[in-house]
């Protein structure tokens, strides 16, 4: 069984995000990048499926992203994925989801697959579109926001539990299928040291757009980001600071009376 | 030679041969183990044997140790007497006094005679302790252990009775060497026996053979009981760790084809670690000192050693197989040592401090953790985010690394990257950088340094977790990544020494960074600030209202001997410094070491509350700490115990207050 897991490089959730001067993106300094959290569930689910099906099953990581994504791909390989396809091309800087999906679709078709796992969304831009566009382009069913996955005994169908408003939905799907993963699906493993050592020797197939057969830009972007704007500073709350609680209370009362005019 | 002499000789040689085979097997077990270099500093090693074996310095640290002292020396004198007697059975006319001279031989007889009685007294005390008092430290979960102890006590007792019987009958037969002056006890025994009207030569033979047989039994039984320590303890003291006790072994990750890291079976231990197993006397002092055991967690250091040795004795069979030079590979986890035990350890080192035979428990626990973490990737779930945070943001908390120096905003703290060259590098550490409470301590240290006009800098966002926690949690790979990255950063700057307010950082810089090629002077802020006070660079006025007790951090006091300095500093800043019962090198862990800071404490009661209750018993309203972990643990415990009227303060905070008034 050929299992694919899609992976995106995103800023760490704890990183302090600042928008660059031109407003075209975020400042890179001081930012640590990690595997998109939901993609970790995808890699883990792929590995679990591989372990369950055994035999000739393989997990291939597919990533479209900058050169620096390599170390994160290695992390996924250290977790136990067998190999990876890394589409890395200057032309892919700040693309829209449609373009990325078109690129991934090419790479995935060339690779072949029985099942694709991916995150339900990337935690940076929160678009959550890739899985649906991909399903369309590959002409396969999609099941989104999966919290449980079970392959049928004949390996031709799968039962997926997905989170919906107010409850869970159980979906049966045929294979091949793309499943987008939600928190709770599994607990991604921590790579063992032998895993890390082995990952250094595993193959990452680097592809440019030309390698994938794109003569020029891979399809039209369906959207363009004009400008990034920082969130408006909310008036927020004022911390009343004072050494003694008594003074703090006095100051609070003054603020409520004179500034907020509520008492 | 008499027939008896021949029979004795044959038996003696046979027993000696079997004993020799057993010792050879033990030696082969050690030879089959992993290498470790303990062959340096012979002078210090001989000194260790004199102090800790001959003078029994650590044994005598507890009152019950006096009993062991008596039995130990009694055993030696009596054994020499035994050899004398045994050789006398084989070589007609043999006698000790013929070799060492009459006077020395006579003195020897007196020692044997007196020690015999003393040993009987010590045995009686030991029996009362073991079977009547049953103190906590002798409690063990193996029912065979007390039976063995009883057997040994009884055998020693019988041996001494036979010895007196032997000498008594010798006196009755008209001995020339035994007199009222050099064998008073034996003379009384002889007087007593005279009244029994027995066949004296026959009785002499019976006592002689009884004596022989007990010794034979001893030789064959010793290697399979806790009394193997008679063989193991002396070399174990000789090969003790002469360096600072707080260092862990360095792992080499160069072999990329390695499939296993850490210890999962006995054969993975080094020969010294294996020798440790043969050195345990099961005195249980480690058990009483262990914070995990004191709070009803499954871990007890000596029970772990006991079970490991039991497995060694079971699995040594593998070595006997033809052509085999390895122990039978059998997993240690979870039957011999459970994961709960492995993770309960705070690495506080109290066990190693107490151990009279210098067993190194912590390294073994960490080696087992290394196997679980590195090879199996198996550990309590709450640790995984800690490792990930350390990897991504270089601190155990989920806080972005770019905010590492936010605590210093507005304080005018220079960055190393701006200064390049300076006197003191203030190593802030993860707690001092990110933990809100510990940030206050960092700010206090900075204020004091500024008051004293110190030329210092911090690394700011270039600083990474020092690696101490990851290392003690068994994640040596992550620890080495952090250590190497920090060393690269430190090498960029010129400075004279590191000052840190964290004993864990202190310890790791002192004993672990040198393993990676960085040796730099590092002092704890207590030492540094005391120095500033002594030089009058800081002027403190004692705060008359401040009364508190000082709590020794394990990694400061026990591991690195910084015990006097924080107290000296406090005595100049506070009016009254009380003392915990458990203090100095015998301090009691706050519960946060060894990565426990970031783990749930679900088993037993809480270590920090145990320590906080001890504090409350002292009737002071402050506890002074010198470690950010201890500070957090005390604050948490005092909150849980509903005693927010008692406050925890770092020594730097106290001093700043004293210097500001």
Q: Looking at residues A146-175, what average pLDDT do you find?
A: 93
**Residue B198 confidence (pLDDT):** 86
Which of A31, A41, A184, A190 has the highest number of chain B CBs within 10 A, making it the mutation to test binding with B? A190
Please state, for a pLDDT cut of 70, what percent of chain A lies above it: 98
Of B94-108, B308-322, B464-478, B564-578, give the range with the top mean pLDDT: B464-478
Q: Looking at residues A26-48, what average pLDDT do you find?
A: 94
Residue B448 pLDDT greater than 80, yes or no: yes
Contact across the interface for B400 and A12, Cβ inside 8 Å: yes
Q: Which of B257, B375, B384 sits opposite A192 (nearest CB)?
A: B375
User: Which residue in chain B is spatially nearest to A197 when comparing CA positions?
Assistant: B256
Please state, for a pLDDT cut of 90, what percent of chain A lies above it: 64
Closest CA to A78 of A191, A239, A230: A191
Contact across the interface for A16 and B377, Cβ inside 8 Å: no
The three-class DSSP label of residue A215 is coil
Q: Looking at residues B468-496, what average pLDDT do you find?
A: 97
HSE-CB for A162 with a 13 A CA cutoff? 16
Q: pLDDT tens-digit profile of B490-507?
A: 999 999 999 999 999 999
Q: For residue A26, name the pLDDT band (cuts at 50, 70, 90).
A: confident
When the pLDDT of each residue in chain B is averaged and rounded to a whole number, the result is: 92
- Report how far residue B422's alpha carbon sits from residue B414's, in angstroms, rounded to the nearest whole number: 10
Q: pLDDT tens-digit profile of B586-637?
A: 999 999 999 999 999 999 999 999 999 999 999 999 999 999 999 999 999 9
A68 in Cβ contact with A34 (< 8 Å): no
Residue B517 pLDDT greater than 60, yes or no: yes
Residue A169 pLDDT greater than 90, yes or no: yes
Beta bridge partners of B265: B331
Q: What ipTM, to 2 d.p.?
A: 0.86
Contact across the interface for B393 and A187, Cβ inside 8 Å: no
- Report how far residue B507's alpha carbon sits from residue B626's, in angstroms, rounded to the nearest whole number: 13
Domains of chain A: 2-207 (3.40.50.620), 233-263 (no CATH)
Contact across the interface for A192 and B374, Cβ inside 8 Å: yes
Closest CA to B511 of B469, B464, B560: B560
Which of B256, B400, B440, B464 has the highest number of chain A CBs within 10 A, making it the mutation to test binding with A? B400
**Residue A139 confidence (pLDDT):** 96
When the pLDDT of each residue in chain A is averaged and rounded to a whole number, the result is: 91
Q: For residue B361, name the pLDDT band (cuts at 50, 70, 90).
A: very high
Q: Looking at residues A184-189, what average pLDDT do you find?
A: 95
Choice between B221 and B507, residue whose per-residue pLDDT is larger: B507
**Residue B8 confidence (pLDDT):** 87
**Residue B322 confidence (pLDDT):** 56
Q: How far is A85 from chain B (nearest CA, A)?
A: 24
Using the Cα atoms of residue B253, residue B258, residue B262 and residue B263 in order, give the sign of their dihedral: negative
Chain A residues with CB under 8 Å of B403 CB are 16
> How big is the A-B interface in CB pairs under 8 Å?
57
**Residue B321 confidence (pLDDT):** 57
**Residue B102 confidence (pLDDT):** 84
Which CA distances in Å does B102 have to B84, B182, B466, B514?
A: 14, 11, 66, 57
**Residue B70 confidence (pLDDT):** 94
**Residue B593 confidence (pLDDT):** 95
Helix locations, B492-543, DSSP H:
503-507, 525-534
List residues of A whose CB lies inside 8 A of any B CB.
Answer: 12-16, 30-32, 34, 187, 189-197, 200-201
Q: How far is B42 from chain A (nearest CA, A)?
A: 38
Q: For residue B437, name the pLDDT band (cuts at 50, 70, 90).
A: very high
Residue A214 pLDDT greater than 90, yes or no: no
Chain A residues with CB under 8 Å of B460 CB are none
Q: Looking at residues A194-212, what average pLDDT do you find?
A: 94
HSE-CB for B559 with a 13 A CA cutoff? 27
B480 in Cβ contact with B516 (< 8 Å): yes
Residue written as tokens 């772990």? Answer: B304
Q: How far is A15 from chain B (nearest CA, A)?
A: 5
Is B477 part of the contact surface with chain A (CB cutoff 8 Å)? yes
Provide CB contacts within 8 A for B422, sequence distance 6+: B414, B416, B455, B456, B457, B493, B494, B495
Lowest mean pLDDT among A15-24, A179-188, B122-131, B631-640: A15-24
Chain B residues with CB under 8 Å of A14 CB are 392-393, 398-401
**Residue A219 confidence (pLDDT):** 65
Q: pLDDT tens-digit profile of B22-36?
A: 888 888 888 888 999
Provide CB contacts within 8 A for B220, sequence distance 6+: B15, B18, B19, B22
The three-class DSSP label of residue A63 is strand
Is B382 part of the contact surface with chain A (CB cutoff 8 Å)? no
**Residue B549 confidence (pLDDT):** 95
Is B461 part of the contact surface with chain A (CB cutoff 8 Å)? yes
Q: For residue A120, name the pLDDT band (cuts at 50, 70, 90).
A: very high
Q: pLDDT tens-digit profile of B113-123?
A: 999 999 999 99
Widest Cα–Cα separation across chain B: 98
Contact across the interface for B402 and A197, Cβ inside 8 Å: no
Q: Ramachandran region of residue A177, left (φ > 0), alpha (ψ -120 to 50) or beta?
A: beta
Lowest mean pLDDT among A86-90, A224-228, B65-69, B370-374: A224-228
Q: Report the Cα–Cα distance between both ends of chain A, in Å, rounded.
A: 69
Which CA distances in Å does B146 have to B125, B142, B150, B223, B224?
A: 15, 8, 6, 16, 14
Q: For residue A217, name the pLDDT band (cuts at 50, 70, 90).
A: low
Contact across the interface for B401 and A200, Cβ inside 8 Å: no
**Residue B325 confidence (pLDDT):** 62
Residue B323 pLDDT greater than 70, yes or no: no
Residue B472 pLDDT greater than 60, yes or no: yes
Q: pLDDT tens-digit profile of B380-389?
A: 999 999 999 9
Please state, for a pLDDT cut of 70, what percent of chain B lies above it: 98
Q: How far is B395 from chain A (nearest CA, A)?
A: 12
Q: pLDDT tens-digit profile of B70-84?
A: 999 998 888 888 888
Q: Looking at residues B469-498, what average pLDDT do you find?
A: 97
Q: For residue B431, name the pLDDT band (cuts at 50, 70, 90).
A: very high
**Residue B89 confidence (pLDDT):** 78
Residue B513 pLDDT greater than 90, yes or no: yes
Which CA distances in Å does B573 have to B350, B439, B442, B651?
A: 29, 21, 18, 9
**Residue B348 confidence (pLDDT):** 97
Helix axes B144-172, B65-90, angle to 10 degrees: 50
**Residue B68 confidence (pLDDT):** 93
Q: For residue B90, name the pLDDT band (cuts at 50, 70, 90).
A: confident
Closest CA to B647 of B512, B521, B551, B511: B551
Q: Looking at residues A140-145, what average pLDDT do you find?
A: 96
């Amino acid at each position: 069984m050929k299992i694919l897991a899609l992976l995106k490089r995103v800023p760490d959730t704890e990183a302090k995000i600042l928008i660059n001067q031109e407003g075209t993106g975020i400042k890179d300094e001081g930012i640590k990048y990690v595997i998109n959290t939901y993609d970790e569930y995808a890699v883990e689910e792929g590995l679990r499926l591989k372990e369950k099906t055994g035999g000739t099953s393989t997990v291939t990581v597919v990533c479209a992203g900058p050169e620096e994504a390599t170390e994160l791909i290695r992390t996924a390989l250290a977790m136990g994925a067998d190999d990876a396809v890394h589409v890395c091309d200057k032309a892919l800087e700040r693309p829209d989801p449609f373009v990325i999906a078109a690129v991934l679709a090419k790479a995935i078709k060339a690779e072949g697959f029985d099942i694709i796992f991916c995150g339900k969304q990337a935690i940076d831009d929160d678009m959550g579109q890739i899985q649906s566009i991909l399903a369309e382009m590959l002409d396969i069913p999609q099941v989104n926001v999966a919290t449980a996955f079970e392959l049928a005994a004949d390996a031709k169908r799968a039962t997926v539990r997905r989170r919906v408003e107010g409850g869970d939905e159980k979906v049966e799907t045929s294979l091949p299928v793309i499943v987008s993963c939600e928190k709770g699906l599994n607990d991604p493993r921590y790579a063992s040291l032998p895993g890390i050592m082995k990952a250094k020797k595993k193959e990452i197939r680097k592809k440019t757009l030309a390698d994938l057969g794109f003569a020029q830009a891979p399809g039209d972007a369906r959207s363009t980001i004009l400008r990034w704007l920082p969130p408006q500073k909310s008036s927020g709350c004022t911390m009343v600071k004072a050494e003694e609680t008594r003074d703090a209370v006095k100051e609070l009362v003054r603020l409520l009376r004179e500034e907020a005019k509520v008492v | 030679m008499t027939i008896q002499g021949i029979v004795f000789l044959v038996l003696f040689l046979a027993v000696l041969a079997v004993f020799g085979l057993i010792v050879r097997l033990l030696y082969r077990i050690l030879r089959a183990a992993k290498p470790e270099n303990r062959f340096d500093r012979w002078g210090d090693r001989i000194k260790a044997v004199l102090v800790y074996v001959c003078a029994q310095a650590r044994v005598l640290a507890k009152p019950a140790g006096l009993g062991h002292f008596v039995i130990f020396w009694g055993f030696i004198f009596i054994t020499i007497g035994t050899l004398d007697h045994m050789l006398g059975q084989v070589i007609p006319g043999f006698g000790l006094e013929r070799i060492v001279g009459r006077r020395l031989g006579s003195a020897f007889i007196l020692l044997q005679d007196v020690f015999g009685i003393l040993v009987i007294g010590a045995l009686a005390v030991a029996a009362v302790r073991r079977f009547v008092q049953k103190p906590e430290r002798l409690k063990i979960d193996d029912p065979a252990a007390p039976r063995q102890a009883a057997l040994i006590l009884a055998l020693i007792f019988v041996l001494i009775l036979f010895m007196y019987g032997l000498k008594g009958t010798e006196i009755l037969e008209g001995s020339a060497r035994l007199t009222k002056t050099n064998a008073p006890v034996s003379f009384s025994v002889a007087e007593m026996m005279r009244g029994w009207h027995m066949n004296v030569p026959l009785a002499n033979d019976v006592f002689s053979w009884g004596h022989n047989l007990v010794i034979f039994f001893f030789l064959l039984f010793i290697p399979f009981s806790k009394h193997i320590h008679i063989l193991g303890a002396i070399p174990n003291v000789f090969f003790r760790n002469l360096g600072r006790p707080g260092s862990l072994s360095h792992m080499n990750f160069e072999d990329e084809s390695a499939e296993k890291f850490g210890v999962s079976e006995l054969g993975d231990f080094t020969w010294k670690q294996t020798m440790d197993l043969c050195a345990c006397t099961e005195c249980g002092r480690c058990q009483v000192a262990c914070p995990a055991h004191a709070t009803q967690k499954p871990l007890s250091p000596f029970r772990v050693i006991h079970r490991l040795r039991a497995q060694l004795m079971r699995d040594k069979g593998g070595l006997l197989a033809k052509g085999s030079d390895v122990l039978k590979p059998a997993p240690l986890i979870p039957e011999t040592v459970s994961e709960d035990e492995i993770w309960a350890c705070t690495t506080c080192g109290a066990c190693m401090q107490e151990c009279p035979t210098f067993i190194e428990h912590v390294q073994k626990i960490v080696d087992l953790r290394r196997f679980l973490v590195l090879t199996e990737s198996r550990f309590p779930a709450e640790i995984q985010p800690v490792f990930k945070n350390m990897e991504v943001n270089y601190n155990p908390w989920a806080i972005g690394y770019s905010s590492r120096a936010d605590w210093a905003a507005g304080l005018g703290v220079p960055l190393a990257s701006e200064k390049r060259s300076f006197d003191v590098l203030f190593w802030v550490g993860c707690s001092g950088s990110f933990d809100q409470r510990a940030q206050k301590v960092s700010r206090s240290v900075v204020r004091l340094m500024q008051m004293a006009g110190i030329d210092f800098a911090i690394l700011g966002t270039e600083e990474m977790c020092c690696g101490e926690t990851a290392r003690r949690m068994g994640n040596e790979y992550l620890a080495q990544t952090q250590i190497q990255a920090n060393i690269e950063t430190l090498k960029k700057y010129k400075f004279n020494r590191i000052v840190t307010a964290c004993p864990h950082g202190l310890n790791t810089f002192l004993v672990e960074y040198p393993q990676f090629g960085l040796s730099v002077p590092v002092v704890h802020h207590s030492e540094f600030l005391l120095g500033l006070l002594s030089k009058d660079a800081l002027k403190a006025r004692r705060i008359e209202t401040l009364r508190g007790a000082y709590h020794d951090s394990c990694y400061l006091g026990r591991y690195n001997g910084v015990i006097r300095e924080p107290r000296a500093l406090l005595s100049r800043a506070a009016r009254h410094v009380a003392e915990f019962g458990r203090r100095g090198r015998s301090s009691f862990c706050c519960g946060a070491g060894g990565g426990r800071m970031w783990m749930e404490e679900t088993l037993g009661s809480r270590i920090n509350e145990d320590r906080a209750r001890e504090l409350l018993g002292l009737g002071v309203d402050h506890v002074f700490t010198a470690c950010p972990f201890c500070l957090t643990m005390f604050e948490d415990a005092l909150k849980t115990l509903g005693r927010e009227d008692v406050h925890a303060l770092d020594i730097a905070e106290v001093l700043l207050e004293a210097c500001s008034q």
